Amino acid sequence: MEGKIRIGFYALTSCYGCQLQLAMMDELLQLIPNAEIVCWYMIERDSYEDEPVDIAFIEGSVSTEEEVELVRKIRENAKIVVAVGSCATQGGVQSWTEKPLEELWKTVYGDGKVKFEPKMAEPVENYIKVDYRVYGCPPEKRDFLYALGTFLVGSWPEDIDYPVCVECRLKGNSCILIEKGEPCLGPITRAGCDARCPGFGVACIGCRGAIGYDVAWFDSLARVFREKGLTKEEILERMKMFNAHNPKLEEMVEKIFQGVEE
Amino acid sequence: MKNLYLPITVDHIARVEGKGGVEIIVSDDGVKEVKLNIIEGPRFFEAITIGKKLEEALAVYPRICSFCSAAHKLTAVEAAEKAVGFTPREEIQALREVLYIGDMIESHALHLYLLVLPDYLGYSSPLKMVDEYKKEIGIALDLKNLGSWMMDELGSRAIHQENAIIGGFGKLPGKATLELMKKRLSEALPKAEYTFELFAKLEQYEEVEGPITHMAVKPRGNVYGIYGDAISVSDGFEFPSEDYKKHIVERVVEHSFAKHSFYRERPFMVGAISRIVNNAGTLYGRAKELYESHKELLRSTNPFANNLAQALELVYFIERGIDLIDEALAKWPVKARDEVTLKDGFGVSTTEAPRGILVYALEVRDGRVAYADIITPTAFNLAMMEEHVRMMAERHYNEPEKLKLLAEMVVRAYDPCISCSVHVAKL
């Protein structure tokens, strides 16, 4: 790419943690001379949402009709669209519900009216083509460093296709699932965090999302969970915390429970 | 013929957490209407977590907000522990406060240097200040990194901590790490003092001067801090945390996904300045001295005093953090976690998040969340914020460009967390 690389960082409905993670990186200061920040409201007042950019980073889930319009506009203006974080890539924790929108709305706002149009949270790729994904809730700093660095040298970053367990074993942690019997989601969750939570003795909640390429074996893990005494509902609930929109999850877990009396 | 006026609008307020805008409608008689439009989508956190396992709900709550995820995590955990009838050991409580202080230091440093300071120095972004203001950006990064590192060590990471759990921690850092934390805190003290001196020089706009009702958590043990079981109001009234609904009324407003809050039918303010106004008598150490010598600037009548109050808290919480680590070290070795039986019950926790009072009320039944109510500082502040923007607008509606910046500066002084304010609301 010639000249300065034009970058936009756009937020949909989210906690702003992905941007915060990026903004907190000291390395960002080294990037500035090579980049032009076209839009990044969190740290730049002179931001323009409607300008062409080389790379558009999108954080957050699509959660209002206004945001549907916004992502379409971003796609038109961007050469590369990067979905950042669990909300943009998987719909986020706000998708962790079976309740219909009307019920959620009533629970929170009662009969109150608001002039904006809400909708159920969805990942960005349900509306536009996404070229690359940075996973995590929040993504690790090294995820940003790797993706940005690779784009800046004119190459394409690779995806991670192996589970948290790989990194966890390499660190020499004791296994939370097998040794402590806790419902750790490490086996189905995309690596890259260096098994951060299991390193603290806390079971993985799957914040980086299920591994892609059909290698997230929800069924095998569901079988282990079942043997540990978890019900189908409990298993689905836990696995869906960050994977509510995963098309394979439910059917693979169902398979394990077929013909099983609970 | 009547004059025609275009609304003065900032569609997207920059350098705040979340997505909100300001709309000022002017007529022949002056400012007609001021609205803070909160346009970020709702996330229904309470509704989503009802019926879910308590531990899993507790993993989700910090995701309400990244700037104060530790505050959300620790307040939710305390509400849950109160609900199930568990009280953490003193040393665990001390270390939780150290984790919370990490959040406080990081959040205040980010807000003051990256979000507020550029306005005063004439920049649109902190990134553009790098060449001219090396020292200030350096201090900002040092303080921010200190807070992040404390959260990494005690919380598992700087955003969305998983290590704070019911019963204590998954794992505690070693003694050597805590000793290092003390050392790094004391090294940061001069930087916090520099920050205070710097912000003491910045203008606090007289346009928004006027009486403000302040609310803050009454600190436990009469030591300035984060946790408390009662709320104090600057009018002298005080009530137990459990009674928050009796005294704070929330209303849905049509231009916002976030509700507005009222006390005795009037807006009120929460945040660092409210803590100082209500609890200055419980400060100690260097912060106490600085407060005494700068009382006039840390006054109750101007929202811009919140910036300086945060700077004062940087000094205070650095010293307080060292003392709390000492309290935990005095009991070393400390067991990380107690087993907790999840009995049925109801618990309310009120803590002081970086931006002000954070309320969590949780009911637990059969190990699951039966009821959840979360109110965040920004939701408390929205009505007051609108009033202060209106005061600014009344003086400057003839200079739209200037007003836009000043209105944004008013909003930024509150350090709003817009994601927080919309992602939660009561049942």
The predicted structure's pLDDT at residue A2:
58
Does the pLDDT of residue A110 top 80, yes or no? no
Q: Does B148 touch chain A (CB under 8 A)?
A: yes
The predicted structure's pLDDT at residue A29:
84
Task: Work out the average pLDDT over A58-63.
Answer: 95
Q: For B217-265, write each residue's pLDDT tens digit.
A: 999 999 999 999 999 999 999 999 999 999 999 887 777 777 789 999 9
Q: CB of B408 within 8 A of CB of B14?
A: yes
The predicted structure's pLDDT at residue A261:
55
- pTM higher than 0.90, yes or no? yes
The predicted structure's pLDDT at residue A260:
62
Q: For B175-185, write each residue's pLDDT tens digit.
A: 999 999 999 99
Q: For A143-201, write each residue's pLDDT tens digit.
A: 999 998 898 888 999 999 999 999 999 999 999 999 999 999 999 999 999 999 999 99
Does the pLDDT of residue A111 top 90, yes or no? no
How much is the mean pLDDT over chain A? Answer: 92
Helix axes B377-396, B400-413, angle to 10 degrees: 150
The predicted structure's pLDDT at residue B251:
84
Q: For B162-176, write each residue's pLDDT tens digit.
A: 999 999 999 999 999
Q: Does A24 touch chain B (CB under 8 A)?
A: yes
Mention every residue, 6+ apart, whose C-beta is less than 8 A from residue A148. Answer: A31
CB within 8 Å: B66 and A200: no
User: In this prediction, what percent of chain A has a pLDDT beyond 70?
Assistant: 96
Q: Which residue has the tokens 């300045």?
A: B273
User: In this prediction, what percent of chain B has a pLDDT beyond 70?
Assistant: 96
Of residues A49 and B421, more confidence is placed in A49
Helix locations, B164-268, DSSP H: 175-200, 244-247
Distances (CA, A) of B403 to A7, A8, A43, A245, B8: 29, 27, 20, 44, 8
- Our CA-based measurement puts residue A198 at a distance from the nearest CA of chain B, in whole angstroms, of 9
How much is the mean pLDDT over chain B? Answer: 93
Instruction: For residue A17, give the nearest of B40, B47, B66 by CB distance.
Output: B66
Q: Which of B75-79, B256-260, B309-313 has the lowest mean pLDDT?
A: B256-260
Does the pLDDT of residue B155 top 90, yes or no? yes
CB within 8 Å: B17 and A99: no
The predicted structure's pLDDT at residue B2:
53
Task: Work out the average pLDDT over A64-89.
Answer: 96
Instruction: For residue B125, give the nearest of A43, A96, A237 by CB distance.
Output: A43
Single out the residue of A32, A40, A45 nearest to residue B121, CA to CA. Answer: A45
Does the pLDDT of residue B1 top 60, yes or no? no
Does the pLDDT of residue A104 top 90, yes or no? no
Does the pLDDT of residue A33 top 90, yes or no? no
Residue A24 φ/ψ, nearest 5 degrees: -85, -5
Does the pLDDT of residue B323 top 90, yes or no? yes
Single out the residue of B54, B85, B56 nearest to residue B366, CA to CA. Answer: B54
Task: Work out the average pLDDT over B54-68.
Answer: 94
Task: Work out the average pLDDT over A101-114.
Answer: 76
Task: Work out the average pLDDT over A28-43.
Answer: 89
Does the pLDDT of residue B139 top 80, yes or no? yes
Does the pLDDT of residue B119 top 90, yes or no? yes
Q: Does A43 touch chain B (CB under 8 A)?
A: yes
Task: Work out the average pLDDT over A92-102.
Answer: 87
Q: Does A51 touch chain B (CB under 8 A)?
A: no
Q: Does A92 touch chain B (CB under 8 A)?
A: yes
Q: Which of A61-65, A233-237, B359-363 has the lowest mean pLDDT?
A: A61-65
Does the pLDDT of residue B423 top 60, yes or no? no
Task: Work out the average pLDDT over A15-42.
Answer: 90
Task: Work out the average pLDDT over A75-95.
Answer: 96
State the amino acid at position A140 in one-letter form. E
Does the pLDDT of residue B380 top 90, yes or no? yes
CB within 8 Å: B408 and A45: yes
Does the pLDDT of residue B427 top 70, yes or no? no
Q: Does A196 touch chain B (CB under 8 A)?
A: yes
Q: Token pair for residue A86?
A: 């669990």
Task: Work out the average pLDDT over A65-92.
Answer: 96
Contacts of A85 in chain B (CB under 8 A): none
pLDDT range class, residue B4, cuts 50, 70, 90: low
What are the contacts of B54-59 at 24+ separation with CB within 8 A? Answer: B54/B80, B54/B84, B54/B166, B54/B342, B54/B362, B54/B364, B54/B367, B54/B368, B54/B369, B55/B165, B55/B166, B56/A205, B56/A237, B56/A238, B56/A241, B57/B369, B57/B372, B58/B165, B58/B166, B59/A205, B59/A241, B59/B162
CB within 8 Å: B419 and A15: yes
Does the pLDDT of residue B317 top 50, yes or no? yes
Does the pLDDT of residue A1 top 50, yes or no? no
Task: Work out the average pLDDT over B290-307.
Answer: 98
CB within 8 Å: B41 and A93: no
Whether residue B333 has a cis bond before it, omega within 30° of 0: yes
